[in-house]
Chains A and B, each alone.
Chain A
Amino acid sequence: MSPRNTTLRKVVNPPQIKGFKPYGAENSKLNSEPVILLLEEYEALRLCDYDHCNQLEASVLMGVSRPTFTRVYASALRKIAKAFVEARVISIKGGRVYFDSDWFHCRSCGCFFNNPDKEQTIANCPLCCSDEISGYDYACG
């Protein structure tokens, strides 16, 4: 892998889903090989076209250079176009990302939450109080 790919990209919230599936095509025509949309590509698209950041703002939010951002964003568009045209499943996963503050997942109620006070450790879910919580590592999702 080239050295410029080793920088971690900052991602704020995880996507709510694991991917997309095309419908309307005969099963035999569905392309079985999914398109893998990396989390940083999802985030780049979301920043630009959902949150309406310009590319410079978005690159700052993700902690990468402007050219890197442009590359990630272009790759996201190409992959989505490919999935649309070729009727492929889009699977959102992987990538070299980290989250800005520590995030946790509650296995009891299913919520995600951050720890706004880094000095304090969190033992219970702030919503349902369960102690069935674990650190949530989006990069491995």
Chain B
Amino acid sequence: MKIAIASKGNSLDSLLDMNFGRCECFIIYDTENKEVEVLSNPNKDALEAAGTTSVQLMAARSVSKIVAGEFGMKIKPLLDSLRIQMIVFNKPETSVRKLISMLNH
């Protein structure tokens, strides 16, 4: 299963981004093979529709869950209809590495 983490940077030490649609990078963690893929967000500077385009990107990568500090209002019904689970984590000081260790339980 692939889990995307909205990240402020491109490394495991980067911090969780509080904004899903306009985050710097998506770090996609595959729970089966423990591999990590870093995708820079092509929509981060978009004035409009950053969120919806990011949703399409997640769907194209077959992501099942997304961790972010916040999801935009237009985003949730889209993710709902795609059956992608949203995990809202309001702790901006959390690193991607820490989140992955949490996901590994």
- Where the two chains meet, the residues of A that have a C-beta atom closer than 8 Å to any C-beta of B are 12-13, 16, 43, 46-47, 50-53, 61, 100-101, 109-117, 126-129
8 Å CB contacts to A: which residues of B77-105?
77, 79-80, 83-91, 99, 102-103, 105
B102 lies within 8 A of A127 (CB): yes
B103 touches which of A52, A112, A127 (Cβ 8 Å): A127
CA distance A16 to B26 in the complex (A): 22
- Measured between beta carbons, the chain B residues less than 8 angstroms from A116 are 79-80, 83-86
Verify B77–A100 contact, CB threshold 8 A. Answer: yes
Q: Can you list 6 pairs linking A and B with CB atoms under 8 Å apart?
A: A53-B73, A100-B80, A116-B83, A116-B86, A117-B83, A128-B105
- In the A-B complex, the 9 residue pairs with the closest CB atoms: A129-B105, A112-B88, A12-B76, A116-B83, A111-B89, A113-B87, A51-B73, A116-B85, A128-B102
- Contacting residues, chain A, for B87 (C-beta < 8 A): 111-113, 126-127
Residues of B within 8 A of A43 (CB): 73
Best-buried of B73, B76, B99, B105 by chain A (most CB within 10 Å):
B73
Which A residues touch B74, using CB under 8 A? 51, 53, 61
Within 8 A of A (CB), among B25-83: 48, 65, 67, 69-74, 76-77, 79-80, 83
Residue from A46, A47, A110, A126 in contact with B65 in the complex, judged by beta carbons closer than 8 Å: A126
